[in-house]
Structure 1
C-alpha cells in the first residue's frame, strides 16, 4: 500500500508526465524547423546551455542550490551524458537526414528498449509477454525502416536511422537508471548540474565537429530556440527527473508513447509531411509492442 505522501507524489508525477508528453511532442517540430538555421550539434548546445544558466539562477533565487553529494553523481552523469548528450545530439543529427514524423517514431522506440535494458541492468524477468511485445515492436521498426526499399548507398539515410536508434537506446538506459537510483538531492536541485555536464560536453562536440557557427539570427529563430530552451529542455528535463523518480519505469515508458502520436500529427499539420500507411502501421506496432512489454510490469507496482 502506498502512503498518502507517495500517492500525492504519484498523482503529481502523472500530471507532469502529461505536460512532458505535450512539451516534447511539439518540441520535435520546432527542433526540425531550427535545423534550417543552425547545424545539429549547435542546436542542442544553444538550447541547453542557456537553460542551464536559467536554472542555476532560479535555484539561487529560491535557495535551492545544492552541490551534488557523492551518492547522486551517477545520476548526474547518467542523465547528463546518456539523455542530454547521447539522445539529444544523436537525434538532432539524425533529424537533418530524415522526415520529422519518421524521426519521432524511431527516436521514441526508447521505451521498447527499456524491456531488454531493465532485464540486463535490473534483472527484471523477460517474460513471454515482454518478449512478444519486443518482437512486435521490432517488426514496427523494420517496417518503418523498410530495408528492402532503403537506399543503402546513401550514407546520410543509413546514418540517420542509426543515429535515431542509438539515441533511443541511450535514453532507455537513462530511464532505467533513473528509476533504480536512490535519490538523495532533490531532482530540481540536481537538474542544473545535469544540464551543465550535458551542455559542456555538447559545446566541446559542437566546436570539434562543426566549428564556430555562422548564424543568421531572426525573430523566428529566437522563438524556436526559446521554446526549445525553456520548455523542451529546462522544464521537460525537470519533469522527466520527477516522473522517473516517482513512477515505475514501465509507466513512464507507456506515458511517453503520447509523444510520437502528437509529433506525427504536428509534423503533418505544420510541416506538411505525408504520414503514409507504412509509417502509421509501424507506429501502431511499436506502440503495441511497448504496451505489451510494459503493462504487465507496471500493474505489479
Structure 2
C-alpha cells in the first residue's frame, strides 16, 4: 500500500472510531429512522455540492441506475438502517465489535465472487472470529431467552454481513467509478426511501432538531462520519484487495471500545474483551501473508514444466 492509501486508512479509522459513541448518544435524542435518513441525505447533499465545486458530473448514465440502486439498498437498508435500529439496545463499543465482523464475511464472499481464494489460513481466521462472537454473546446464550439486547446484537452481526455484501458488490461493479458520485447516489436514494417511512411513523420535535448542540453533532456524523468517510472507504476498496481493505480498519472497534469506556462510561466486561481479542486474532490470521519456502517454489515450478 502506498502512502495515500495508508493515510486514508488512518484518517478513516480515527473518524469511525470516534463516531459510534456519538451515534449512540444521538439515538437518545433523535427518532432512529428520522435520524438515519437525515444523516444519509445531508451527507449526500454535501457531497453533491463538493462534486459541483469540482465541476464533475452528478447524474448517472442510463445503464448505471440499476447497480446504484442495488448498492444503495445494501448500504442504506442492509447496513445503516439495521445498525441504527440495533444500536438502540447495545452499547456503542460492543456495536462496533459486532459490526466489524464484516471482514470475516468478506473472506467467504470474496472467495465466490471476486476469486480471492478461501484457504486454510482464512478458515482458521473465520473459526477464531466465530469463537469471539460466541464469547461476546455467551451471557445471553448461557441463559437463552429472547430479549432486546440479544436481538440487537444479532441484528448488528447481520448489519456487518450486509456491509460485506455491499463492499464486494462495489468492488465488482464500481472499481473505476467516480467515488464521490457513487457515494452520493448510494446515500441519497436509500436515505430518501427511509425518510418517507420515518415521516409516517415517527414524530418530529422541532426543539430537538433546532438545538445547536444536536445540530453540530448531526453535522459531524452526517458530513464527516458518513459522507466523507464513505467516499474514503469506497476509494480504499478500489485501491487494494477487499479483504486487506477490511482488515486495515480493524482498529476501529478497538478505538470505539476505548472511546465508549472513557467518554460514555460504557462497561468493558471480560466477555467483550475476550470476544474482541478472538475476533481481532481471527482477522489478523486471515490477513497474515505466509511466506512460501523457496525450495517449495522451485519444486512447484519444476513440476509445472
The TM-score with structure 1 as length reference comes to: 0.88
- 1:247 aligned onto 2:234: no
Q: How does 1:98-137 map to 2 (within 5 A)?
A: 98-137=90-129
Classify 1:174/1:294 alpha carbon distance in 2 versus 1 (closer, same or farther; 3 Å). farther
**Residue segments in structure 2 that go unaligned for 5+ positions in a row:** 293-305
The alpha-carbon deviation at position 248 of structure 1 amounts to 1.0
Q: Distance in 2 between matches of 1:37 and 1:150?
A: 32
Counterpart among 129, 140, 144 of residue 132 in structure 2 = 140
RMSD of aligned Cα (Å):
2.1
Counterpart among 3, 11, 17 of residue 3 in structure 2 = 11
The alpha-carbon deviation at position 200 of structure 1 amounts to 1.4
Classify 1:150/1:81 alpha carbon distance in 2 versus 1 (closer, same or farther; 3 Å). farther
Q: Counterpart of 2:20? A: 28
Q: Distance in 1 between matches of 2:79 and 2:31?
A: 16
DSSP-derived class of the 2:266 partner = coil
Q: Distance in 1 between matches of 2:161 and 2:24?
A: 21
Counterpart among 202, 227, 252 of residue 211 in structure 1 = 202
Q: Counterpart of 2:288? A: 295
Classify 1:99/1:115 alpha carbon distance in 2 versus 1 (closer, same or farther; 3 Å). same
- 1:84 aligned onto 2:73: no
Aligned residue pair count:
288
**Residue segments in structure 1 that go unaligned for 5+ positions in a row:** 1-6
For residues 160-211 of structure 1, the C-alpha deviation after alignment (integer angstroms, 9 at most, x for no partner) is: 0221011100001111222223545321233222221221122134235x33
Please tell me whether the aligned partners of residues 96 and 253 of structure 2 are also in contact (alpha carbons under 8 angstroms): yes
The alpha-carbon deviation at position 72 of structure 1 amounts to 4.3
- 1:221 aligned onto 2:214: yes
For residues 45-95 of structure 1, the C-alpha deviation after alignment (integer angstroms, 9 at most, x for no partner) is: 121111212221221222112322356445523432212332111111111
DSSP-derived class of the 2:166 partner = helix
Classify 1:99/1:184 alpha carbon distance in 2 versus 1 (closer, same or farther; 3 Å). closer
Larger deviation: 42-51 or 196-205? 196-205
Q: Counterpart of 1:95? A: 87
Please tell me whether the aligned partners of residues 27 and 228 of structure 1 are also in contact (alpha carbons under 8 angstroms): yes
Q: Counterpart of 2:249? A: 256
Q: Counterpart of 1:65? A: 57
Higher radius of gyration, 1 or 2: 2
